[in-house]
Structure 1
Amino acid sequence: MDLMKKIWTHAQANKKKIVLPEGNEERNIAAAEKIHKLGLAYPLLVGNKEEIINKSKELDVDLSGVEIIDPNESENLTKYITAFYELRKKKGMTMEKAEKIVRDPLYFATMMVKLDDADGMVSGAIHTTGDLLRPGLQIIKTAPGVSVVSSFFIMQVPGSSYGEEGLLLFADCAVNPNPTEDQLAAIAIATAETAKKLCKMEPKVAMLSFSTMGSADNELVDKVRNATQKAQELRPDLDIDGELQLDAAIVKKVADQKAPESKVAGRANVLVFPDLQSGNIGYKLVQRFANAAAIGPICQGFAKPINDLSRGCSSDDIVNVVALTAVQAQTNI
């Protein structure tokens, strides 16, 4: 059974309410029907009710059994406005501003998660990552003990022996443009924990660079090297090593030459990229050249699960991210 089949099974065993704030968008409408029929979650579409129903008819999508919530008609609107004002009043928020902001479907949906009217949220088909992170950080905030929100992709490479038979986690590919040493260490630890809890993998975390164990000397390498040391000191129970070039991280023959003492080199199943540019480029190269499934970006570090989508996503991508979000809600990842 591949990972997504396992995720689906877990999601179906304890269905959660997952809100889709881009409810008027056709891929979300199509996904809501699939999610409902597969029993992966209770999908909640947020948007103009009449527009959603009309569009579903044009798409020949059956939304019977799917809840549609129009912020402007919701009985919870006043409650959400008041709660948002209370959260942000020390930052200069007024009730007038709060009323305008919370009517935005993204903010409305985030308040649903905050006040436990939904268990998680998925957005990003027509919004940027920044659009998702803004209300997330203002309203949901980070989990206790977590210093930075980050993201990862689940990469499944058909026919590959790398990672866990072609299964690897790539981080951070969507959130932090240029993480500090401390942030990079936190991303490595968070992704290792995610690998264990969500993917049921024993994480072998490679901190990637253009150098392997001192083969190059540069301030960019120093950042990765120092981040590795910090992560190892914080979590000596985890297998985290670096700095490693990509081939040394995943190819055993190369690892035997370049890093023979490493417990991670040649065996890595979690790849931590030094910055967002390399991470984003890396996952897209693998996705396109290797015909890999790229599931995500999945966020980690929020107090409650809210997740992003690629704007090039399909309705099936939304289904998978909703299922992952539901499992995160079950396990509090």
Structure 2
Amino acid sequence: MSERKRNLRGAWISTVINLDWPSKESSAITDETARVHAQKNELIRILNEAVSMRMNAVFFQVKPCSDAFYQSTLLPWSTYLTGTLGKDPGYDPLQFAIDEAHRRNLELHAWFNPYRISMNTTQSTIDALNNVPAGSPASVYKDHPDWVKTAANRFVLDPGMPEARAWVIQGVMEVAEKYDIDGVHFDDYFYYETDASTLDDDATFSLHGGGFSNKGDWRRNNTLLLITELSTKLRSTQPQIKFGISPAGVWRNKTNDPAGSDTSAGSPNYDNQYADTRLWVLNELIDYIAPQVYWPFTRQAARFGVITQWWADTVRGKNVHLYIGEALYKVGVPSTTEPE
């Protein structure tokens, strides 16, 4: 008897800056009963739309900025729920999302941003991070200032700190052990910096970089340690939970590595985010990879067909599923042949 294969058809539900859910309007509602009702209805509409589009999974962002969309002993409630970091929203959004998703035969993958603490470094953000309401877990910014750095004009955890990585894993396992999730999902933010706002981790490299003469190799190893250690914990204690990552589309350009894709992307994962995504597949550390291939066939620097074929070749023979991440918000936007 032949086995019928079941394709995954899913969508990301972003909560950071109230991008997809909940709406800023709902988070500003002062009456708790009315706010909870509005937010639940908003999420139900999103899930119903997913069903109407014949999807079978959602990737629900539960930790956008070292804050929580679930009852946590480590993280304060997300500011995107009520407008106030650490304020109890009056319900458990993740539990509600799981219940409603499963009621519709949708898998729910809990999506974590591992290292981001904030979206900016303004004084109001600093004040919020330092003054979480009583009864809530304190922010990691206040509890562990030695782990905190600035990059891309945001507060982030330093991935080179072993204690910070262990804390990230502890946070993921809290959800994996407490909630009936179908998957754990990471996005593409590991080492995330810009030319104007780089991560100053020279001191961390001096302290923890023994055995590495090249800081880039050390950074990639830090990311590898995070993925390896979390993979090991999930598979040993929660083997039913899938572990997947959605990196940016290009691992490396062929001009820099013969194993790379025939592209000329400006920010390959290996070189800019210090994430050896290909190695994770080769070592089968993850259950699926969902590269964000947001470019058309005509984009010379990174053509859709070239990249997707490269990924298909990379996963062939490996026990790792490949899902191509696409940008629905770009549908209808004119494509361009100019390099990016």
Select the structure that is richer in strand. 1
The interval holding the TM-score normalised by the smaller chain is under 0.3
> Greater relative contact order (Cα 8 A, min sep 6): structure 1 or 2?
1
TM-score, scaled to structure 2: 0.26
TM-score (norm 1): 0.26
Q: Which has the higher helix share?
A: 1
